[in-house]
């Protein structure tokens, strides 16, 4: 039994109180997106307001400040020291923005999200433009309040991917972009293309659920500490450290949505389920960054479940559950079809090769906006031009272009790079694994326990005890390197497309 000082105990109790409000909010979010009857929504948002405000007050309270000042660098307990650092950072971040300004931002953001809906429906960017302009101004001001060393955009990036800077991204992204663009061109020119039509047979929801549940179980997802439910926009959520839920969406015309979506969210959930119990009820009991989180979902979704080895093991199971129409589909045709590469206008429909190119576009534009190098009004044209340059296709409407994502309308700038970072991290982790284990045989044998344990030991258990780039270095022995993603994609798709 750990011995704590009076001050440490006070601090842990404060964290427990915060964590209680956080847990209530998480459950409310889950319910809001899975179960709530529609008339209940309106009042529920007031509850979110009250609890969020309470949480905000706790994190910026004088009591918190006092404990931070007294404990920081004066505790022998490593977890407490790290938690103090997390709390200090949040305290500073929240305190630096004048309360009135933050309220205005929240109100603007909420209005802007509904204007975004309207702008999309009417395919009219000019409706959203004045809101985006104000949101960019707010983000610039916030970045200035928070401070940065070299680039104002770094202050925003820091919120989602602490330690990653514009300098780093500007080293890795262009190389990645050029390699991916080349690869995409080659694939486009390939003669023997897969035919995804053969996947699009009716597949009853219940059957898809049965397969999803089975795969989650095989991945090592603990159903005593989680559950699977249906939703519109799938997500995974940690309600508490022993209650991490997965959601998915069933499209009876295309099973890929649910199957790969469930595995993706399952990857997020495995991360949260396997954080060390020692960190429970502290702010450290959570994935260390958006990018590392995404690396875990993408690892399972792509590196595992879109691999030849995975399906060589699971194709019998799939057929035993799938309707008649799938029984005659040849294994090789199936495998190639679930890995079709096809430049698309829409980011969330993109395959693993083109996905990061969508991110580059957003990164380049938002960085330029925050640094006053471009104006909001020019976004549609710049967007379309970059689509043509990187992906070889050009949107004919803003609805399929600059208006497709909610992030900017929700005031989120600096978030997008995490997605591409997730791809690079995943490939780099995968390469490290390969040095220790014969990954192909393990995947072919469906021996996910070994993989899950490797991820737990090397990544999951640490929660926020390690910052993303430190974690990457500890696990792989080097800093961020986009080559692993390029190599992985080149090898995989050379075979599939006979390049």
Q: Which of residues 107-166 bind a copy of itself (CB under 8 A)?
A: none
* CB of 103 vs a copy of itself, minimal distance in Å: 16
The residue within the footprint of a copy of itself, chosen from 4, 10, 31, 278 (CB under 8 A), is 31
Question: What is the rounded distance in angstroms from the CA atom of residue 421 to the CA atom of residue 108?
Answer: 29
Task: Please work out the total of residues on this chain that contact a copy of itself, with binding judged by CB under 8 A.
Answer: 37
Please tell me whether residue 21 binds a copy of itself under the rule CB under 8 A.
yes
Q: With CB under 8 A as the contact rule, which of the stretches 31-39, 116-124, 252-260, 376-384 interacts with a copy of itself?
A: 31-39
* CB of 46 vs a copy of itself, minimal distance in Å: 6
Please tell me whether residue 10 binds a copy of itself under the rule CB under 8 A.
no
Per the DSSP assignment, residues forming a β-bridge with 237 are: 245
Residue 101 to residues 94, 336, 408, 472: CA-CA distances in angstroms?
A: 11, 52, 18, 36
The residue within the footprint of a copy of itself, chosen from 218, 227, 256, 342 (CB under 8 A), is 227
Select 250 or 425, whichever has its Cβ closest to a copy of itself.
250
Q: How many CA atoms lie within 13 A of 459 on its CB side?
A: 35
Q: With CB under 8 A as the contact rule, which of the stretches 21-29, 75-83, 131-139, 350-358 interacts with a copy of itself?
A: 21-29
Question: What is the rounded distance in angstroms from the CA atom of residue 258 to the CA atom of residue 324?
Answer: 19
Please tell me whether residue 217 binds a copy of itself under the rule CB under 8 A.
no
Please tell me whether residue 50 binds a copy of itself under the rule CB under 8 A.
yes
The residue within the footprint of a copy of itself, chosen from 4, 5, 7, 28 (CB under 8 A), is 28
Q: With CB under 8 A as the contact rule, which of the stretches 64-72, 111-119, 220-228, 254-262 interacts with a copy of itself?
A: 220-228
| Residue among 265, 272, 294, 352 flagged as catalytic | 265
Structure tokens, 142: 């916030």
Please tell me whether residue 14 binds a copy of itself under the rule CB under 8 A.
no
Please tell me whether residue 368 binds a copy of itself under the rule CB under 8 A.
no
Question: What is the rounded distance in angstroms from the CA atom of residue 221 to the CA atom of residue 216?
Answer: 5
Q: With CB under 8 A as the contact rule, which of the stretches 68-76, 173-181, 217-225, 331-339 interacts with a copy of itself?
A: 217-225
The residue within the footprint of a copy of itself, chosen from 2, 3, 6, 38 (CB under 8 A), is 38
* CB of 229 vs a copy of itself, minimal distance in Å: 8
Residue 328 CB neighbour total at 10 angstroms: 9
* CB of 35 vs a copy of itself, minimal distance in Å: 7
Please tell me whether residue 43 binds a copy of itself under the rule CB under 8 A.
yes
The sign of the torsion formed by the CA atoms of 46, 52, 56, 57 equals positive
Please tell me whether residue 46 binds a copy of itself under the rule CB under 8 A.
yes
Please tell me whether residue 47 binds a copy of itself under the rule CB under 8 A.
yes
Residue 383 CB neighbour total at 10 angstroms: 21
The DSSP output letter for 479 is S
* CB of 264 vs a copy of itself, minimal distance in Å: 20
Q: Which of residues 229-288 bind a copy of itself (CB under 8 A)?
A: 239-243, 280-281
Select 23 or 405, whichever has its Cβ closest to a copy of itself.
23
DSSP 341-397: ----S-GGG--TTTHHHHHHHHHHHHHHHHTTSS-GGGHHHHHHHHHHHHHS---SS
| Cβ atoms of 122 and 110 closer than 8 Å | no
| Cβ atoms of 402 and 158 closer than 8 Å | no
Select 36 or 175, whichever has its Cβ closest to a copy of itself.
36
Please tell me whether residue 20 binds a copy of itself under the rule CB under 8 A.
yes
Closest CA to 354 of 196, 209, 181, 208: 181
Please tell me whether residue 461 binds a copy of itself under the rule CB under 8 A.
no
Question: What is the rounded distance in angstroms from the CA atom of residue 220 to the CA atom of residue 197?
Answer: 32
Select 13 or 104, whichever has its Cβ closest to a copy of itself.
13
Residue 488 to residues 185, 338, 473, 481: CA-CA distances in angstroms?
A: 17, 17, 19, 12
| Cβ atoms of 153 and 366 closer than 8 Å | yes
Please tell me whether residue 40 binds a copy of itself under the rule CB under 8 A.
yes
The residue within the footprint of a copy of itself, chosen from 27, 127, 317, 437 (CB under 8 A), is 27
The DSSP output letter for 289 is -
Question: What is the rounded distance in angstroms from the CA atom of residue 127 to the CA atom of residue 389?
Answer: 27
Q: Which of residues 333-352 bind a copy of itself (CB under 8 A)?
A: none
Please tell me whether residue 56 binds a copy of itself under the rule CB under 8 A.
no
The residue within the footprint of a copy of itself, chosen from 42, 62, 149, 328 (CB under 8 A), is 42
Select 16 or 95, whichever has its Cβ closest to a copy of itself.
16
Structure tokens, 145: 């309040």
Closest CA to 298 of 34, 165, 485: 485
Active site residue 265: yes
Strand 236-240 vs strand 228-230: parallel, antiparallel, or unpaired?
unpaired
| Terminal CA-CA length for the chain | 60
Per the DSSP assignment, residues forming a β-bridge with 95 are: none
The residue within the footprint of a copy of itself, chosen from 39, 191, 233, 435 (CB under 8 A), is 39
Select 7 or 280, whichever has its Cβ closest to a copy of itself.
280
Per the DSSP assignment, residues forming a β-bridge with 244 are: 238
Catalytic residues: 265
Enumerate binding residues for a copy of itself (CB under 8 A). 16-17, 20-21, 23-24, 27-28, 31, 35-40, 42-44, 46-47, 49-51, 54, 222-227, 239-243, 280-281
């Amino acid at each position: 039994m750990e011995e704590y000082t009076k001050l440490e105990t006070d601090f842990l109790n404060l964290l427990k109180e915060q964590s209680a409000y956080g847990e209530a909010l998480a459950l409310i979010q889950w319910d809001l997106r899975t179960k709530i009857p529609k008339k209940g929504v309106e009042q529920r948002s007031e509850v979110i307001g009250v609890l969020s405000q309470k949480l905000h007050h706790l994190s910026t309270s004088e009591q918190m400040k006092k404990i931070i000042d007294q404990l920081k660098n004066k505790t022998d307990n490593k977890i407490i020291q790290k938690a103090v650092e997390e709390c200090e950072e949040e305290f500073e971040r929240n305190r630096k923005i004048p309360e009135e300004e933050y309220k205005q931002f929240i109100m603007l953001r909420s209005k802007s999200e509904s204007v975004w809906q309207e702008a999309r429906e009417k395919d009219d960017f000019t409706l959203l433009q004045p809101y985006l302009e104000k949101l960019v101004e707010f983000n610039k001001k916030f970045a200035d309040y928070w401070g940065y060393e070299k680039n104002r955009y770094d202050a925003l990036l820091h919120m989602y991917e602490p330690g990653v800077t514009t300098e780093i991204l500007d080293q890795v992204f262009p190389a990645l972009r050029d390699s991916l663009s080349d690869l995409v061109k080659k694939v486009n020119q390939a003669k023997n293309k897969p035919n995804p039509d053969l996947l699009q047979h009716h597949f009853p929801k219940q059957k898809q659920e049965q397969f999803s549940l089975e795969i989650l179980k095989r991945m090592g997802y603990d159903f005593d500490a989680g559950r699977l439910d249906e939703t519109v926009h799938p997500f995974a959520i940690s309600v508490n450290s022993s209650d991490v839920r997965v959601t998915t969406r069933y499209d009876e015309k295309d099973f890929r949505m649910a199957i790969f979506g469930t595995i993706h969210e399952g990857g997020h959930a495995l991360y949260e389920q396997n954080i060390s119990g020692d960190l429970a009820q502290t702010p450290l009991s959570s994935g260390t960054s958006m990018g590392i989180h995404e690396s875990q979902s993408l690892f399972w979704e792509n590196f595992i479940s879109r691999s030849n080895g995975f399906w060589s093991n699971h194709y019998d199971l799939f057929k035993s559950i799938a309707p008649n129409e799938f029984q005659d589909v040849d294994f090789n045709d199936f495998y190639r079809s679930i890995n079709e590469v096809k430049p698309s206008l829409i980011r969330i429909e993109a395959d693993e090769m083109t996905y990061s190119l969508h991110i580059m576009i957003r990164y380049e534009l938002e960085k330029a906006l925050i640094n006053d190098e471009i104006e909001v009004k020019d976004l549609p044209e710049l967007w379309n031009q970059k689509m043509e340059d990187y992906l070889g296709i050009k949107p004919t409407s803003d609805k399929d272009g600059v208006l497709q994502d909610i992030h900017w309308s929700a005031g989120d700038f600096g978030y997008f790079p995490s997605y591409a970072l997730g791809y690079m991290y995943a490939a780099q982790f995968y390469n490290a694994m390969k040095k220790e284990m014969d990954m192909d045989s393990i995947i072919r044998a469906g021996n996910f326990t070994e993989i899950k344990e490797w991820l737990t030991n090397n990544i999951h258990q640490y929660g926020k005890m390690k910052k993303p780039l430190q974690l990457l270095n500890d696990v792989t022995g080097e800093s961020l390197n986009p080559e692993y993603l390029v190599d992985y994609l080149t090898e995989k798709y050379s075979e599939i497309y006979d390049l």
